[in-house]
Amino acid sequence: MTQTVHVPGLTGAEVEARVRAGQVNTLPPRSGRTTWDIVRANVFTRINFLLMVLFVLILTTGSIQNALFGFLIILNSGVGMVQELRAKKTLDNLAVVGEGRPRVRRDGAVAELVRDDVVLDDVIEIGPGDQIVVDGEVVEASYLEVDESLLTGESDPELKQPGEQVMSGSFVIAGVGAFRATRVGADSYAAKLTAEASKFSLVKSELQQGINKILKLITWLMIPVGLATIWVQWNQPGSWQDRILAVGGALVPMVPEGLVLLTSLAFAVGVVRLAQRKVLVQELPAIEGLARVDVVCADKTGTLTENGMRFGELEPLNGAEADALREVIAQVAAADPRPNASIQALAHEMPSPGHVWEVSAQAPFTSAKKWSGVSFADHGDWVVGAPDVLARDSDASRRAEELGSAGRRVLLLGRSDRPVDAADAPGEVTAVALLVLDQRIRPEAHDTLAYFADQDVTVKVISGDNAVSVGAVTRSLGVVGDTVVDARTLPTDEAAFADQVESANVFGRVSPQQKRQMVQALQARGHSVAMTGDGVNDVLAIKDADLGVAMGTGAAATRSVAQIVLLDDSFATLPHVVAEGRRVIGNIERVANFFLTKTLYSVLLALLVALWRLPFPFVPIHITLVGWFTIGIPASILALAPNADRAKPGFLTRVMRFGVPAAVIVAVTTFVTYLRVIPPAGATPQVIEQASTATLVTLLMGGAWVMITISRPYEWWKLLMIAVCVAATIAVYTVPLELTLFGYHLQLQEFFYLDSGNQPMMATGFLLGAIAVVGIELTWWLTGHVTGGPRRQLWKTARTT
C-alpha cells in the first residue's frame, strides 16, 4: 500500500533552538577513543608507575646513568602517544568521508548532512540501502521495507507504515519514505550499539587475550619474586645506594614496558598505512582479522565488476514493437523514486518522456524476490527482473542464459496479469523483451585474484546475478574454479549445504539470507572468512563475517556494519589490506617473544639470586645495555617490518613454547656464571665489577641469540640490524672512548660500570654464554619442528640438504 504525504522539515530557527538545548545527535568519537583515553593509556599505567618509582629512587643515589631507563620510558610513552593520536586523527577524518550522509529536510529543501548535525524532530528521507541513523517515527511510506535483523535477529523485513517506529542500526531494503527523529545522540539506539560493539570486538581478539594473559602471568610472578628480591638485597652489606641500585637492577628488567607500547605502536602505524591507501579501519581488532583470513567471499557486482552499468541492447519478444517497448521502459524507469544501478542504466538510455503515466501501484526491487514492478492506471502492469525468476523454463529464460554466457546482465521486461502490489504478484508474466546491460570487469580484478591464489587464500564469488553470467565473468578472470552453482539448487541439510559451499567457488542467484548462511557454514568448518560487498543485500553476510569489507560508494548500511571500508572502491586495495594485517600481527608475535623471554629470564634470575641470598650482580645501567641492543632496538625495528605470513590460532601457545625454555636457559647459564665468578666477602669494588662484567657477557650472549633466532628468516636489513647491535655491544667492551657527563670524564666501560680486565672471569662468561647460544638454538629448532610453520619448513629443508 502506498501512503505518501509530504511532511515539511524544521526551519532554521527551530534547528538553532534545538542546538542550544543540546538536542543534537552527538555520538562517541568515530575512532572509538578520545584524546584523553589515549594519553591515559600511554602515561597513567601500572607499568609506568612502577618504573617511575624505581626511577626516582635511583635518582636519589646520584647515579644518573643508572636512571637512563626512566628517560627512555618517557620517550617511548611520548612516541606511542603521538602515533596513536595521529592514527585517531586519520581515522576520524576518513570516517567523515566514508560514513553515510542522511538526507534531511530543512527550510523547504533537502540537504545531505553529517550524522552529528541531525537534531531532534528533523525529518529524514530514506530509500534502499540507507541506514537509519537515529531513532524515529515514520511520517511517509511508499512500500517501505526495513530490515531490523541486526537488532532483533528476525530475518524477514518489516513493512513500515506512518506512525510506526524505526530504530537506528536498521536499514532500508526497499521502498522510500521519511521519518521524524525522536531520539538522538546518547539516547538513540545507535550510541548504545556502538558502545556494545566496541566492547565485543576486544573480546573476540585472540591477540588481545594472549597479551593480557602474558601480563597477568608476569604480574603474579613479579609480586613474590620482587618482594623476595627487596628483602634479600636490603640485607646485603654495603651502602644504601648500593642496595637501591641492586634492587633496581633486579626489578627494572622484570617490567615488560615495551610489550604494550610496541603492540599499540604496530596497530597505530598499521591504521595510518592503510589510511594512506584510502582504507578506513572502523574497528581496531579488524587488523587482527586481516591477518587470519583464508577465505574471501566476494560479490560480483561492485567488486569484480565496476558499479555502473551501460545499456547494451533491447531484444523484443513475441512480436513486440521496439519503439513501444522503449516508451514502456522509459515510463517504468521514471516511476522509480530511488532507482538501482540497472534501472539507472535504462533511464540513461531511454530518458523520461514528456508525459508521465499515472502510477496506481508499485513493487520496489529487493534482492530476495529479484524483480520490481509498476502498475499504471491506463497502461497495464509491468515487471522488470531476472528472466529465470519471472519466466523460468521458458524460451525467454533460455535466450537470456545465452546472452548471459558472455558475462552480460540480462533483465526481462514482462506484462503481469495482476497489480504488482498484489499478495501473489507477479502472477502470470508475459515476456515482451530482454534488456541487456554491459558490466565492465575491474582492470585490477585478475591480479587481485591471482595474489590471493598465491597466498593460499580461497576466493568464492557469491552473487545474486544469474549463475551463467557470474560464471562467464569468473572464467574470464582465469583464477576461480569453473564449477558454477545456482544457489537455488543448494541442499537444505546443513552438512550437505556446507559441503557444497566449501567445494565450489562460484555461486549465482544467491539470496541475502543464503550469503549469510554461506559465511556461517565456512566459519563452522574452521575458516576465517572475509566478506566484501557494496549492496544492501550484503549487509547480513558482512556483519557475520570474521572481517567485513565494504566499498566506499556502497550502501550506507553496508559501510556502517563493515570493519573495513575501501573508500576508493578498488578491489586491488584488498591485497594491501591483508598484507598489512599480516605484517602487524606477525610482528606483534615477534615482539611478544622478545619481551616474554626477557621478563621471564629476569624473574628467574632474581629468584635464583634471592634463594641463594646473594648480592644481585647487575645495576640498572647493565640492564639498559642489554635492553638497548638485544631487545629494544631490534624489537622496535621488527615491530614495523614487512611480514607476509598468515596468522594462525595459538598465539599464546607459540610464544610460551619458545619463550619459556629460552628464558630458563638464559637465566640458568647467567646464574651459573655468577656462581663461578662471584668474589669472596670483602672483595674490592674492582673485583666485584669484574664479576658483574663477566656475568653480563653470558646474559648478553643469551639475549643476543634470542634476538637472532626471533629475527629469522633472514633478509639483508635484518642481518644489518643484528650486525649493528652486536657490534655496538662489542664496542662497549673494547673501544677506549671517553665520555663527559655532568662534568665527569668517564671511559665507556666506566660509564657502564664494566671492567673486562679479569681474563679467567671473562673466559667463564664466554663459555657459559656459548652454552646458552647452543641451548637456545636447539630450543628454536625443536619448538619449530613441533609447532610447524616457517621453523618447521626450515627444519625439513635442513634435513633434506
Query: Which residues are the active-site residues?
Result: 299
Please tell me the number of Cα atoms within 13 Å of 687 on its side-chain side. 9
* SS3 (DSSP) at 417: coil
Phi, psi of 612 (to 5 degrees): -85, -5
3-state secondary structure 68-94: HHHHHHHHHHHHHHHHHHHHHHHHHHH
Cα gap 480→490, rounded to integer Å = 19
Q: Which of 329, 300, 511 is nearest to 434 (CA)?
A: 329
**Which pairing describes strands 484-486 and 506-508: parallel, antiparallel, or unpaired?**
parallel
CA distance 9 to 180: 9
Angstrom distance (rounded) from CA 478 to CA 304: 13
Q: In angstroms, rounded to a whole number, what is the distance separating the alpha carbons of residues 210 and 653?
A: 9
Alpha-carbon torsion angle 483, 569, 450, 797, nearest 10: -120
Cα gap 196→190, rounded to integer Å:
10
Helix or strand run (H / E) with residue 371: strand 371-376
DSSP string, 205-272: -HHHHHHHHHHHHHHHHHHHHHHHHHHHHHTSSS-HHHHHHHHHHHHGGGS-HHHHHHHHHHHHHHHH
Q: Which residue has the cell 538553532?
A: 16
End-to-end CA distance of the chain: 77
Q: Are 554 and 302 in contact (CB under 8 A)?
A: yes
Nearest to 698 by CA among 714, 718, 681, 675: 675
**How far is residue 479's CA from residue 475's CA, in Å, rounded to a whole number?**
7
Q: Report the C-alpha gap between 607 and 602 in whole angstroms.
A: 9
Give the span between the Cα atoms of 798 and 784, in whole angstroms.
12
- The identity of residue 196, as a single letter, is E
At residue 193, φ and ψ (nearest 5 deg) are -65, -45
Task: Quote the strand ranges of 405-559, DSSP E.
Answer: 409-416, 429-441, 458-462, 484-486, 506-508, 529-533, 547-551
Q: Rg of the chain over CA atoms, in angstroms? A: 33
| Sequence-ordered list of residues with C-beta below 8 angstroms from that of 75, at least 6 positions apart, any chain | none
* Beta-bridge partner residues of 159: 145
To which H or E segment does residue 728 belong? helix 716-734
566 in Cβ contact with 278 (< 8 Å): yes
Q: Phi, psi at residue 315, to the nearest 5°?
A: -115, 100
Which is nearest to 446 in space by CA: 487, 474, 415, 409? 474
Alpha-carbon distances of 282 from 193, 205, 563, 589, rounded to whole Å: 14, 15, 5, 23
Question: Quick check: 584 and 649 in contact, CB under 8 A?
Answer: no
723 by Cβ neighbours in 10 Å (0-12 / 13-18 / 19+) ranks as exposed
Distance from C-alpha of 426 to C-alpha of 381, rounded to nearest angstrom: 9
Question: Using an 8 Å Cβ cutoff, are 537 and 367 in contact?
Answer: yes
